[in-house]
Amino acid sequence: MSLLEREVSGVAMTPDNIRTRRLPLVANLGTAVAAIVVAAAVVLGLDLGNWVLVAVLAVVFYLIGISIVAGRVEGRRAARDRMWKSLIYSACVLAILPLASVVWTLVSKGASRLDGDFFGTSMNNIGARDPNGGAYHAIIGTLEQVGIATLLAVPLGVLGAIYLVEYGKGRFALTVRFFVDVMTGIPSIVAGLFVLSFWVLIVSPWFNDGQPRFSGFAASLALTVLMLPTIVRSTEEMLRLVPGPLREGSYALGVPQWKTIVRIVLPTALPGIVTGIMLAVARAAGETAPVLLVAGGAAAINFDPFAGNQSSLALFVYQQAGDASRYAPARAWTAALTLVALVLILTVAAKLLARRNRLSR
Amino acid sequence: MGDYPSRSENATAGDLGVTASRTRAAGSGVSPSSYDEPPIGGGGALPKKARFSMESGFRGLSVSAGAMVLVIIVAIAIFLISKAAPAIGKDTENFLTYKQWFPNEADPKFGIAALAFGTLLTSVIALIVAVPISLGIALFLSHYAPKRLATPLGFIIDLLAAVPSVVFGLWGRDVFQQPVADFSEWLNKYFSWIPIFGGDGPYGQSIMLGGLVLAIMVLPIVTSLSREVFQQTPGMNEEAALALGATKWEMVRTAVLPYGKPGVIASVMLGLGRALGETIALALTLGLVFNISFNLIEVGGNSVAANIATTFGEANETGRGALIASGLVLFAITLVVNMGARAIIYRRREFRDSAA
């Protein structure tokens, strides 16, 4: 209580005590240690729970303790400031924990089947008792489906963004812009159901003697629906960053608007556009639900995206997760590791590209 | 991304930061398409505007690409309705209030009451858990962390958003399930007098597990959007608060939070939209039981999207129609939620260019 006494007695306006009193670091650490000790004593003494509860209670006790101690030394407002600061820091720690756990599990469980067999074979004729089997067919499926979806979505998305930035004026452009934003929120399963009811059940029977047919191409269509708004938004943002004087210079030389867009605006914004496309591709590669609904999933290798069931990496993970075989979890985790590696490489590459982009901030 | 100038570094008074550079949008100059007829006078020697040219062709192409978005949204509604309507017609129970799902029988009986309830409950739990933590991280990244820490941490949070949902589902089922089951048992031991923690097991694949996994997935979305909003707080407001003697938290509470409120609401609604539509993670972590119960910890729970993924395999024609009908309901709900979120964002013009 010596701190308190000093506060009461010290009133002389010397340069030493005219500034607000700060809580010494020792007091802060002491509170933390005391909180942990008290929490451990309460929890383990009364046998209420395990170390997780100790940690939670320790944080609570620390918050109470620090606001009392700091309240005595620094005043009520500073105490509240400290309490919120601690809360904000602990929120951050809390969020890092699950991410670390996911990464650790991915690496530790996924490494067990990370062999040539996994990347070289399919699940064809692999029974419940076979430890081998791989994701070759699923990797083929992912690459083909995402590739076709990119081919469909990129021209459409970039042209849509060009409309919004260069030509769009008035109500219609505002409506389009609004619904592009709304479309980013469409659940992937709804996109899958749309392609199911439109392509698989209505259009595909025309090519297949009246029988509805699953195909990788249908999955591509669903992924296109999901990628389109992302590409439009990111491209639009990049096109807006292209300086107006570049366009005006081009117009002044008598270049028509379409040529200005194709030859001046697009090349200037290209790195940013590519970044957006890569992020959209990464998102599409991880989608499971649409592929499950319209590509059907398959155990064998199928190179033809237009006929017959296909699998994809994400779908492979889901199907192996539901498989009763004792070898299935290892396959699921290795496929998940492959998928995350693919997605993260794309994402990180896109972000590094964005960092080198002179147009963006 | 993530290289935002921090407020204190370029803090000239009245500095509007990102916003100022955005007000002068590109293309603000006069473009050839911004007038319909050539200006009068001085243009005598100019060639006449051709009726059909590359220009009008390119323009038409881009307009139709823009219109494609509207076409797709309308097409989604039309095709879902066209397949859902016959199935609902064959339903012998009330589609909106019946709790079970037997669409493949001779007399189909199905309703989305239990599914819609599960969807809402898991999403609400996810938001209750995720929103305070996300706002904490967003504030940490925008105002508390040193820049050297904030940039990589923001990068990691963005990466978290890119991890596919099936991976979170697998993690939730294989790794997270046991801790949650232990936690449920503990809750049940001491708090069984609260109905939501009642029951006598088994624990594990419960609403709580699904809700917590959803929370982890919603977190990066809410965080990254609200961080951007917090970072756009005018430096002047913050400095004025500090100059009046406010502590850091008081500055955040009086300057940053009120300014960011619409953006935060919008980000929460976008997170809600994602949580409502989440499929695979919930299909792997919920108990897939058709009932309406507020019990969070017992094995149970189901959602519209998870039900589509898990029962699609054995569905016949009516079954597919029934699943499409439930998807239509989901589409309508998420459309409303997203339109609400976007409307809020659009009201604040500042957020328009950054809200991804």
A197 vs B162: CB contact, 8 Å cut-off? no
Considering chain A, what percentage of its residues have pLDDT values greater than 70?
93
Domains of chain A: 2-111 (no CATH), 118-356 (1.10.3720.10)
Kindly provide the b/e burial profile for residues A327-337, where b requires at least 16 CB atoms within 10 angstroms of the residue's own CB.
bbbbbbbbbbb
Q: What is the mean pLDDT of residues B318-332?
A: 92
Q: In this complex, which of B57, B337, B356 lies closest to A233 when CB atoms are compared?
A: B356
Each residue's pLDDT tens digit, A76-90: 888 888 889 999 998
pLDDT grade for B354, boundaries at 50, 70 and 90? very low
Token pair recorded at residue B76: 């989604």
CA distance B341 to B339: 5
CB distance from A330 to chain B under 8 Å? no
Q: What is the mean pLDDT of residues A31-56?
A: 83
Do A137 and A301 form a contact (C-beta atoms < 8 A)? yes
Instruction: Please report the pLDDT score of residue A140 as a whole number.
Output: 92
CA distance A222 to A290: 6
CB distance from A271 to chain B under 8 Å? no
pLDDT grade for B348, boundaries at 50, 70 and 90? low
The least confident of A101-110, A201-210, A244-253, A327-336 is: A201-210
Instruction: Please report the pLDDT score of residue B40 as a whole number.
Output: 55
Which residue of chain B is at minimal alpha-carbon distance from A321? B170
CB distance from A44 to chain B under 8 Å? no
Instruction: Please report the pLDDT score of residue B355 as a whole number.
Output: 42
Q: Are strands B101-102 and B109-110 parallel, antiparallel or unpaired?
A: antiparallel
Instruction: Please report the pLDDT score of residue B115 as a whole number.
Output: 92
Q: Spell out the long-range contacts of A32-37 with Cβ–Cβ below 8 A and sequence spacing 24 or more.
A: A32/A58, A32/A62, A34/A61, A34/A65, A35/A59, A35/A61, A35/A62, A35/A65, A36/A62
Provide the CA A189 distance to its chain's centre, in angstroms.
17
Residue A263's Cβ-side half-sphere holds a number of Cα atoms within 13 Å equal to 9
A49 chain-B contacts, CB cut-off 8 A: 186
CB distance from A70 to chain B under 8 Å? no
Instruction: Please report the pLDDT score of residue A111 as a whole number.
Output: 87
Instruction: Please report the pLDDT score of residue B349 as a whole number.
Output: 56
Q: Can you tell me which residue has the tokens 């889901």?
A: A318
**What is the predicted ipTM?**
0.85
Instruction: Please report the pLDDT score of residue A223 as a whole number.
Output: 95
B249 chain-A contacts, CB cut-off 8 A: 80-81, 84-85
Instruction: Please report the pLDDT score of residue B136 as a whole number.
Output: 93
Q: Is A310 helix (H, G, I), strand (E, B) or coil?
A: strand
Which residue of chain A is at minimal alpha-carbon distance from B22? A241
The least confident of A124-128, B134-138, B167-171 is: A124-128
B66 vs A169: CB contact, 8 Å cut-off? no
Q: Is A296 helix (H, G, I), strand (E, B) or coil?
A: strand
B323 chain-A contacts, CB cut-off 8 A: 193
Token pair recorded at residue A301: 């290798």
Instruction: Please report the pLDDT score of residue B47 as a whole number.
Output: 62
A106 vs B167: CB contact, 8 Å cut-off? yes
CA distance A127 to A325: 8
Kindly provide the b/e burial profile for residues B290-322, where b requires at least 16 CB atoms within 10 angstroms of the residue's own CB.
beebebbbbbbbbbbbbbbbbbbeebeebbbbb
**CATH code for the part of the protein at B93-351:** 1.10.3720.10
Q: What are phi and psi of A360, to 5 degrees?
A: -75, 165
> What is the distance in angstroms between the Cα of A145 and the nearest Cα belonging to chain B?
16
Locate the domains of chain B by residue range: 93-351
Instruction: Please report the pLDDT score of residue A38 as a whole number.
Output: 86
Does residue A235 surpass a pLDDT of 90? Answer: yes
A81 vs B338: CB contact, 8 Å cut-off? no
B257 chain-A contacts, CB cut-off 8 A: none
Token pair recorded at residue B37: 């007829």
Counting one residue from chain A and one from chain B, the pairs whose CB atoms sit within 8 A come to 320
| Residues 222-241 of chain A whose Cβ lies under 8 A from any Cβ of chain B | 225, 228-229, 232-234, 237, 239-241
Token pair recorded at residue A102: 């996911």
Each residue's pLDDT tens digit, B181-215: 888 888 888 888 888 887 777 888 889 999 999 99
Q: Can you tell me which residue has the tokens 């067999």?
A: A117
Does residue B75 surpass a pLDDT of 60? Answer: yes
Does residue A24 surpass a pLDDT of 50? Answer: yes
Considering chain B, what percentage of its residues have pLDDT values greater than 90?
36
Cβ neighbours of residue A274 closer than 8 Å, sequence gap 6 or more: A350, A353
Token pair recorded at residue A284: 């599409």
Q: What is the mean pLDDT of residues B168-178?
A: 91
Does residue B14 surpass a pLDDT of 50? Answer: no
> What is the distance in angstroms between the Cα of B324 and the nearest Cα belonging to chain A?
6
Token pair recorded at residue A194: 């749309």
Burial of B279 (0-12, 13-18, 19+ CB in 10 A): buried
A102 vs B166: CB contact, 8 Å cut-off? no
Instruction: Please report the pLDDT score of residue A1 as a whole number.
Output: 43
Considering chain A, what percentage of its residues have pLDDT values greater than 90?
37
Each residue's pLDDT tens digit, A32-41: 888 888 888 8
Cβ neighbours of residue B150 closer than 8 Å, sequence gap 6 or more: B2, B140, B141, B142
Please, which residues bridge with residue B298 across strands? B203
Does residue A267 surpass a pLDDT of 70? Answer: yes
Do B153 and A92 form a contact (C-beta atoms < 8 A)? yes
pLDDT grade for A153, boundaries at 50, 70 and 90? very high
> What is the distance in angstroms between the Cα of B292 and the nearest Cα belonging to chain A?
23
Average pLDDT, chain B: 82
